[in-house]
Amino acid sequence: MFIKIPHYPPIWLYPRLYPYMRYLMGKLNPKKIEHEKSNGKERRLPDGDGLFLRIRPSEAKSWLFCYRLGTDRKWLQMTLGSLSDLSLKAARETILELRKLVAKGIDPRNARAAIKAENINAMSMQGLFDVWIDFTKMAKEVSPTWIKRHEDRWRIHLKSVLGNILARDVTRSHLATALDAMTRKGIKEETRKALTTLNLMLDYGLTRHMIEQNPARMLKPKDFAATANRPRDRVLSLTELNRLWQALDLEEKNTSSTLSFVTVAAIKLLILTGARRGEVAGMRWSELDLQAQEWKLPSTRTKNNKAHTVYLSSMAVNILTALKERSLSSLWVFDTGRYQEGGHIHEDTLTGVISRLRGTTKGSKKRKEDNASLADLDHFTIHDIRRSAATAWGEHLKISPHIIEKMLNHQPLNKLEAIYQRAVYSNEQKEGWLAWGDIVQKYIATPNK
């Protein structure tokens, strides 16, 4: 004889049974929590005292607190957090505190909002900077290098003056004090960038109601003698690039020189590729296909967050092959050489090489050594090499401007062009780099007779 067993709705649909569910179903334990599934529909597993583990159809698990206030017969609920953020033990401890509020007739949801508001009011500038940086990292809309520069700027120049001030209390006077201190050090460009850092973090706080205003918006770079520098236009001729190359060769052969084969090779790669110094300094073996003569930069390593392929000339491949034979690292091309899998050379190291060859201190135009190998050349920086290569592509190879922009991986200035002009021109770019390699071989790498 077949007996039909009646089907009842889930027990959590009966609010009157909430206080007794721990006795009806038993308390939760870690093993049970781990193995319970949704079976395609939302489930709520009681632990007692109004604590439930909610399992959604997606198998996402979170904690709920169900309660009633005073004589009101209506059951209320609030989410405590996900299982990954809140363990069973922590959830039970939280429930004990929340039940104390309920016993006093206080709605825990309102109390939580008050605590959050109190925390925001007590947030320091350091706290605001931290949450802004965390959000920026999570959003992944800018490169890690961009983030690190803001972190360094805050740590070196701004934190000591502004870090402990409450974000809601910060004024123009506070910000000006920090920026004036930078101005007195004579670092105009860094002062201007520090104001940008402050604007970005305070704008973040303003849009999220952490602060009521952004006082940095009322400050201008000119207030701190930090107006933007005039765009540089220094271009090295082929003859000057030849002088630089020969100076690098001479330093490499000089056993008393502090310049290593690695740093010399890095600057030669800058000339051959026209890439940014940070891209070259952080080059990884995994980005290279020497047989195909390609260097594939991922989006995380480019300024505009767009993947970019650099086609390598035979000369560039030869340099990289020689580096491979000497390298201690299976990760970095330009490793520090200090220990296995240590790290790559810093981009500022390359800046220092140029200063050394010119007989100046880094970042200065003033000469300290007149007998330096490039002391007679007009002032130039490491970034001028990139501009010089791009200029030579147009002047000597007659490469079209739009192809050069692609080779430099520049972001189009025209937004419509950025949307609709998706052509890559890979063949044209490859021809350009290979032809440039021939020019370097013939006119730059060969000593003048």
pLDDT score recorded for residue 229 = 61
Q: Which of 110, 107, 114, 113 is nearest to 70 (CA)?
A: 107
Length of the chain: 449
Superfamily of domain 238-444: Intergrase catalytic core (1.10.443.10)
DSSP 75: -
Q: Does domain 125-224 have CATH number 1.10.150.130?
A: yes
Question: Bigger pLDDT: 240 or 138?
Answer: 240
β partners of residue 166: 124
Q: Which of 288, 319, 320 is nearest to 301 (CA)?
A: 288
**Least confident interval from 8-17, 144-153, 372-381:** 8-17
Token pair listed for 239: 């003859």
Distance CA 99, CA 48 (A): 12
pLDDT above 70 (res 128): yes
Distance CA 347, CA 233 (A): 21
Task: pLDDT band for 436, please (50, 70, 90 cuts).
Answer: very high
Task: pLDDT band for 93, please (50, 70, 90 cuts).
Answer: confident
For the entire predicted model, the pTM comes to 0.58
β partners of residue 295: 288, 310
Token pair listed for 228: 């933007």
**Least confident interval from 87-96, 309-318, 435-444:** 87-96
Give the count of beta carbons closer than 10 Å to the beta carbon of residue 315: 20
Question: Bigger pLDDT: 110 or 240?
Answer: 240
SS3 content of the chain, % helix, strand, coil (to 5): 55, 10, 35
| Amino acid at the residue 71 | T
Token pair listed for 208: 């999220």
Task: pLDDT band for 348, please (50, 70, 90 cuts).
Answer: confident
Distance CA 20, CA 371 (A): 90
Q: Is residue 226 a contact partner of residue 188, using CB atoms and an 8 Å limit?
A: yes
Distance CA 39, CA 41 (A): 6
Please give the distance of CA 322 from its chain centroid, rounded to a whole number.
31
Can you tell me the mean pLDDT for 222-236?
Answer: 80
pLDDT above 60 (res 34): yes
Query: 11-121 architecture in CATH?
Result: 2-Layer Sandwich (3.30)
Can you tell me the mean pLDDT for 118-124?
Answer: 68
Q: Is residue 226 a contact partner of residue 195, using CB atoms and an 8 Å limit?
A: yes
Token pair listed for 428: 């044209």
Per-residue pLDDT reduced to its tens digit, 162-212? 998 989 899 999 999 999 999 999 888 899 999 999 999 999 888 888 888
pLDDT score recorded for residue 230 = 65
Token pair listed for 202: 């305070």
**Per-domain boundaries in the chain:** 11-121, 125-224, 238-444
Please give the distance of CA 438 from its chain centroid, rounded to a whole number.
36
Per-residue pLDDT reduced to its tens digit, 355-399? 888 887 655 555 556 677 888 898 898 999 999 999 999 999 999
pLDDT above 70 (res 431): yes
Can you tell me the mean pLDDT for 31-50?
Answer: 87
Classify 377 as helix, strand or coil: coil
